[in-house]
């Protein structure tokens, strides 16, 4: 399941992960560390919502 | 007003302070307002740039410079400095012109804006995502906007400021209200280059290099400035500027391009060759790799000559004319292949947005949808790194805030 940042529109795609922040491809959004934040605008996980697209 | 970022806050505060009778509601999708201000400039917030001449200031905007010319004559960096000073926030200027709060903490700016908005009576609603805004005529005959929230709730207003930054839904709202959107693409990024000449040199920087960016058949873009070698390729002010000026072309070419580097901008291939010839006679007995005759980081020099096949023991006296020519080429016209873009964490911005001819820059009111105002990054404006992006947000929002509260007597 992809997730979108409500603030900036960044889409977290588990297939890609977030290598810049040390998140390996294949990491589900739920399994991201609690202190992970949006790589574009910096907000925390609570500002993301499921995204289908 | 939609979007409690830099522009939304500044517009709301300006309007509320100048037009105390205006009732302003600021809607924000995030749980906290000002997310980008908080993380901006590596957590220090590069508020603006110490460039006080509007005609010079506009040269820092790959898109929007022309439209901002007049706007900057009304609110420019000196006004930004004054605005914050009046609220007890001192800014300092760094050697490169970037201005930061003296606290070196973006929280200072966040708190200032939040307090100023509160004091001015702006009502802030966070965790409130707007899903649509439509122009309508209400039952009482008044014209205005109907703002629909994700929760299903509906707000009405007679004027609307759209300051949703680079959020794709913000563009959609503007589009639905009749605006054309220049397609959004990223700006301010680093260049991914895999090249033996740069391998193992991450962290090395040169004070000044001249860069020429060739994208397809387009005329080259050039920049001169500091250059930083990273694990992935190249970064530094000169690269970031090129990324901004070339943002659209690079996006179209899928970030495939050629970069020509002159590591020694004071030389051209010819003068460099002469210099090397002189070195050859003077330093004949010295090893080439171990003795760099030019103002270059030692390890970079070694990497350049080694990758040309010059051995560690090879001496200046033994260098052939052909190799000498080649060396001068490598120093002044080194060719690299850009194979992608990388993130520059301190600042980035979106190129593209609401098409500028559709906006009246005297008021920031839409020319296609009366009562709609636009400010900040949602506009097709973006600057190079250094505080210019916030400055355009402050300026456009200040103008919008002034205009949006005026009572229309007609
Ligand atoms: C990491 C980073 C660092 C940066 N550092 C600097 C710097 O030091 N100096 C500088 O000049 N520039 C910097 N920038 C650029 C600068 O942050 C932006 O240009 C600026 O924030 C634009 O302001 P804005 O108010 O237009 O948009 P934003 O600050 O993005 O604010 C838009 C707001 O609208 C909200 N929103 C969007 N859609 C909706 C909706 N449908 N409903 C409700 N709310 C919505 C968003 O949640 C957001 O809070 C940086 C950018 C980044 C990403
Ligand atoms: Zn985000």
pTM for this entry: 0.94
Q: What confidence tier does B237 reach under pLDDT thresholds 50, 70, 90? A: very high
Chain A residues in contact with B31 (beta carbon < 8 A): 43, 46-47
Q: Using the 8-state DSSP alphabet, how is residue B307 labeled?
A: H
Alpha carbon distance B398, B113 (integer Å): 13
Structural domains of chain B in order of their starting residue, each with its CATH number: 6-186+345-409 (3.50.50.60), 189-343 (no CATH)
**B132-152 exposure pattern, b = at least 16 Cβ within 10 A, e = fewer:** bbebeeeeeeeeebebebeee
Average model confidence (pLDDT) across chain B: 96
pLDDT tens-place values along chain A, 53 residues long: 999 998 888 899 999 999 878 899 999 999 999 889 888 888 889 999 999 87
Pairing relationship of beta strands B349-354 and B181-187 according to DSSP bridges = antiparallel
**CA nearest B404: which of B10, B109, B92, B50?**
B10
Q: What confidence tier does B386 reach under pLDDT thresholds 50, 70, 90? A: very high
Residue B86, chain A, CB below 8 Å: the answer is no
Residue list, CB under 5 A from ion ligand 2: A 5, 7-8, 10, 38, 40-41
Residues ≥6 apart with Cβ < 8 Å to B101? B44, B45, B47, B84, B89, B90, B91, B92, B108, B109
Closest by Cβ to A41, choosing from B36, B129, B169: B36
What average pLDDT does range B314-335 have in this prediction?
96
Ligand 2 center–CA B49 separation, angstroms:
25
Alpha carbon distance B64, B356 (integer Å): 8
Alpha carbon distance B289, B66 (integer Å): 49
CA A9 to chain centre: 11
Q: CB–CB of B378/B164 below 8 Å?
A: yes
DSSP string, B186-203: EESEEEE---TTTTT-TT
Give the 3-state secondary structure of residue B334.
strand
H or E element at residue B353: strand B349-354
Alpha carbon distance B69, B363 (integer Å): 14
pLDDT of B240: 97
Q: What confidence tier does B320 reach under pLDDT thresholds 50, 70, 90? A: very high
Pairing relationship of beta strands B334-338 and B181-187 according to DSSP bridges = unpaired
Q: What confidence tier does B138 reach under pLDDT thresholds 50, 70, 90? A: confident
Q: CB–CB of B15/B123 below 8 Å?
A: no
Q: What confidence tier does B225 reach under pLDDT thresholds 50, 70, 90? A: very high
**CA nearest B315: which of B307, B323, B326, B303?**
B323
Index of the ligand 1 atom closest to the CA of residue B34: 49
Of all residues in chain B, what percent carry a pLDDT higher than 90?
95
In the predicted structure, residue B409 carries a pLDDT above the cut 60: no
Tell me which of A4, A6, A7 to substitute to probe the interface with B (most B C-beta atoms closer than 10 Å): A7
Alpha carbon distance B30, B144 (integer Å): 25
What average pLDDT does range B50-55 have in this prediction?
96
Prediction ipTM score: 0.81
């Amino acid at each position: 399941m992809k997730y979108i940042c409500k603030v900036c529109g960044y889409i977290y795609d588990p297939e890609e992960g977030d290598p810049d922040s040390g998140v390996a491809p294949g990491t589900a959004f739920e399994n991201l560390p609690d202190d992970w934040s949006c790589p574009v605008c910096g907000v925390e996980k609570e500002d993301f919502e499921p995204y289908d697209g | 007003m939609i979007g409690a970022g830099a522009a939304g806050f500044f517009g709301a505060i300006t309007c509320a302070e100048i037009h105390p009778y205006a009732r302003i509601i600021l809607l924000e999708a995030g749980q906290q307002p000002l997310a980008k201000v908080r993380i901006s400039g590596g957590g220090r917030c590069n508020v603006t740039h110490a460039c006080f001449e509007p005609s010079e200031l506009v040269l820092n905007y790959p898109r929007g410079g022309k439209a901002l010319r007049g706007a900057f004559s009304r609110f420019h960096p000196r006004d930004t400095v004054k605005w914050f000073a009046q609220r007890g926030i001192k800014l300092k200027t760094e050697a490169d012109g970037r201005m930061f709060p003296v606290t070196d903490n973006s929280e200072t700016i966040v708190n200032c804006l939040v307090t100023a908005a509160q004091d001015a009576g702006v009502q802030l609603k966070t965790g409130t995502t707007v899903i649509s805004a439509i122009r309508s005529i209400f039952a009482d005959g008044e014209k205005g906007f109907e703002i629909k929230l994700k929760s299903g709730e509906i707000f009405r207003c007679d004027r609307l400021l759209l300051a949703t930054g680079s959020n794709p839904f913000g563009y959609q709202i503007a589009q639905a209200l009749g605006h054309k959107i220049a397609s959004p693409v990223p700006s301010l990024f680093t260049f991914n280059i895999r090249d033996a000449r740069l391998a193992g040199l991450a962290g090395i920087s040169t004070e000044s290099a001249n860069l020429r960016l060739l994208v397809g058949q387009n005329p080259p873009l050039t920049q001169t400035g500091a250059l930083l070698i990273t694990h992935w390729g190249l970064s530094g002010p000169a690269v970031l500027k090129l990324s901004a000026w070339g943002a659209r072309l690079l996006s179209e070419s899928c970030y495939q391009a050629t970069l020509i580097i002159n590591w020694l901008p004071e030389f051209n291939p010819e003068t460099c060759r002469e210099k090397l010839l002189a070195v050859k006679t003077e330093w004949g007995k010295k090893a080439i790799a171990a003795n760099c005759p030019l103002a270059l980081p030692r390890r970079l020099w070694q990497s350049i000559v080694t990758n040309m096949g010059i051995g560690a023991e090879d001496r200046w006296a033994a260098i052939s004319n052909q190799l000498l020519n080649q060396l001068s080429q490598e120093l002044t016209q080194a060719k690299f292949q850009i194979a992608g873009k990388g993130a520059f964490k301190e600042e980035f911005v979106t190129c593209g947005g609401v098409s500028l001819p559709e906006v009246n820059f005297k008021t920031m009111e839409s020319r296609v949808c009366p009562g709609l105002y636009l400010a900040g990054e949602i506009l097709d404006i973006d600057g190079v790194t250094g505080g210019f992006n916030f400055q355009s947000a402050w300026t456009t929002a200040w103008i919008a805030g002034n205009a949006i509260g005026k009572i229309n007597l007609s």
